[in-house]
C-alpha cells in the first residue's frame, strides 16, 4: 500500500472544525479526539494521517511536500503566500482582516506617516500599497490591540471575529480589509501523483459541507 495521504491541520479551532467535518464525511477521527500529546494520528480504515501543526507550519509542510494536504486560514495564506494549490473554501473559521484604531479617533487626519502594528506585515504592506499610502509597519507577535493603547502605533491591522477584543480595549474598526475563512490547500506534486485519493477526499468534504 502507498504511504498514507497526510493532512496537516492548524491546531486549535480550525482543528476542531475540520475534525467535525471529517466525521460528517464519514472518516473515523477517534485517534484525533483521543490524541493526548501525539502530533501524528491515523484515520482508522483509511490510508490517511492527520498531522497537527501551527498555521505557518501547515503551509511549510504542504509546500515541502511532507504533507499532501493542509487546512489553514486565508490570513496565513495571504501573509505567507507560497507555492501550493488552494482547492476549497471550507466555510468555517470565518472572520475578517480589519484596520482598527482608538474609538472616536480620525485615522486619516494629519500629514504624519502613520505607524501600524500587526502580526501580518505583508498583508498590511499590500493593503496600504493598494491605497498608495506610505506607512511604517511594526511587527507584533500577539495581542496587537496593546500597540495603540501603549501609543506604539496609530492603528492595527488584525483579525476581527466577534469584535469583543477591540470593544473591550476601547478600539473600533475603521475599515474592513477582506474576509477570511479556512482553506484546503494541496501540494503541487501530490496533486499529480495522488490525484485520485485527493479528489476523493475533497469531494467527500464538499458533500459533507453542502
Select the residue interacting with ligand PRP from 115, 165, 169, 181 (CB under 6 A).
Answer: 165
Is 130 a binding residue for ligand PRP by CB under 6 A? The answer is: no
- Shortest-Cβ-distance residue relative to ligand PRP: 142
The residue to which cell 476581527 is assigned:
160
Specify the residue, 55 or 198, whose C-beta has the smaller distance to ligand PRP. Answer: 55
Query: How far is 80 from 150, CA to CA, in rounded Å?
Result: 28
Q: Give the distance from CA 98 to its chain's centroid.
A: 15
Specify the residue, 164 or 196, whose C-beta has the smaller distance to ligand PRP. Answer: 164
Size of the site for ligand PRP (CB under 6 A): 12
Is 68 a binding residue for ligand PRP by CB under 6 A? The answer is: no
Phi/psi at 93 (5° precision): 65, 30
Select the residue interacting with ligand PRP from 19, 48, 160, 201 (CB under 6 A).
Answer: 160
Residues 6+ apart with CB under 8 A from 198: 5, 68, 69, 186, 190, 191
Specify the residue, 70 or 73, whose C-beta has the smaller distance to ligand PRP. Answer: 73
Specify the residue, 43 or 159, whose C-beta has the smaller distance to ligand PRP. Answer: 159
Select the residue interacting with ligand PRP from 36, 110, 132, 142 (CB under 6 A).
Answer: 142
Is 150 a binding residue for ligand PRP by CB under 6 A? The answer is: no
Residues 6+ apart with CB under 8 A from 186: 62, 68, 69, 70, 84, 85, 87, 198
Strand order from edge to edge, sheet including 95-102: 135-139, 114-118, 155-160, 95-102, 171-180
Is 162 a binding residue for ligand PRP by CB under 6 A? The answer is: yes
User: Which has the closest alpha carbon to 4: 88, 90, 69, 83?
Assistant: 69
Specify the residue, 26 or 91, whose C-beta has the smaller distance to ligand PRP. Answer: 91
Is 159 a binding residue for ligand PRP by CB under 6 A? The answer is: yes
Binding residues among 9-48 for ligand PRP as defined by CB under 6 A: none
**Site for ligand PRP, rule CB under 6 A:** 142-145, 158-165
Amino acid at each position: 500500500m502507498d504511504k498514507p495521504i497526510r493532512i496537516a491541520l492548524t491546531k486549535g479551532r480550525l482543528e476542531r472544525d475540520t475534525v467535525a467535518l471529517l466525521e460528517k464525511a464519514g472518516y473515523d477521527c477517534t485517534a484525533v479526539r483521543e490524541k493526548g500529546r501525539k502530533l501524528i494520528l491515523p484515520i482508522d480504515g483509511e490510508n490517511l494521517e492527520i498531522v497537527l501543526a501551527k498555521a505557518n507550519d501547515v503551509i511549510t509542510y504542504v509546500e515541502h511536500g511532507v504533507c499532501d494536504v493542509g487546512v489553514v486560514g486565508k490570513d496565513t495564506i495571504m501573509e505567507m503566500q507560497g507555492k501550493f494549490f488552494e482547492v476549497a473554501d471550507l466555510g468555517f473559521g470565518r472572520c475578517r482582516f480589519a484596520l482598527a484604531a482608538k474609538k472616536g479617533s480620525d485615522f486619516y487626519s494629519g500629514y504624519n506617516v502613520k505607524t501600524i502594528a500587526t502580526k501580518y506585515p505583508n498583508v498590511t504592506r499590500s493593503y496600504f500599497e493598494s491605497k498608495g499610502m506610505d506607512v511604517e509597519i511594526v511587527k507584533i507577535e500577539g495581542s496587537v490591540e496593546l500597540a495603540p493603547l501603549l501609543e506604539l502605533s496609530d492603528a492595527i491591522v488584525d483579525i476581527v471575529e466577534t469584535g469583543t477584543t477591540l470593544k473591550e480595549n476601547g478600539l473600533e474598526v475603521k475599515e474592513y480589509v477582506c474576509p477570511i475563512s479556512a482553506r484546503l490547500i494541496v501540494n503541487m506534486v501530490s496533486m499529480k501523483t495522488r490525484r485520485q485519493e485527493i479528489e476523493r477526499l475533497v469531494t467527500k468534504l464538499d458533500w459533507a459541507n453542502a
